[in-house]
Amino acid sequence: MRDYAARAKAVRSGFDMNPSPGNIRDGLVTDAMKSAGAARKGGTSPVTTVLDYPEYASGSGLHLQCTPGNDVECVTAQVGAGANVVLFTTGLGTPTGNPVAPVLKISTNSDLAKRMPGIIDIDTGGVISGDKTIAQMGETILESVVRVASGEIRTKAEGLGQDDFIPWKRGVSL
């Protein structure tokens, strides 16, 4: 983070828009809050590898990757690292896909899934409401991944032709 902050400062930028205005409107007022939410969504598996942006993932276990915060650049990086299916959690509903690998969009709340049913593949809001356990939702997500990976179903992004692809230029991308 310090290295990235220094690069942002060098080009007279900063993290002023991160979290985004939409994140702030929905209650995330600091990067620390946003990062805590991201870590929580990551589960409890131990991190086995930390990858820099151009590195290809190998081996098993949970890999973390240095990517920009921009959603499309981040997904492009994950696919470039070898992801065959991307699980994209969203609280605000970023409408993105990828031309190389399917992107399953997972809403973190049911209000979003109801507002944007055309782009959300899986609604995990049942965990928050208490209607589903984390284990039950994990099974639902796994079943969806298997169905998408086997070609049985297509993601909403595929159906909409959302083929977004933006390589990170390795500068500052906020």
66-100, pLDDT tens digit by residue? 887 788 998 999 999 999 999 999 888 888 999 99
Q: Which has the closest alpha carbon to 119: 140, 150, 78, 90? A: 90
Alpha-carbon gap, residue 95 to 120, rounded angstroms: 9
pLDDT-derived band of residue 126, with 50, 70 and 90 as boundaries?
very high
Above 70 in pLDDT, residue 159?
A: yes
Average pLDDT, the chain: 85
pLDDT at 105: 97
d(CA 27, CA 159): 32
What pLDDT band is residue 111 in, cutting at 50, 70 and 90? very high
Judge whether residue 155 has pLDDT over 80: yes
**What are 16-48's pLDDT values in tens digits?**
556 666 667 766 667 666 667 666 766 788 889
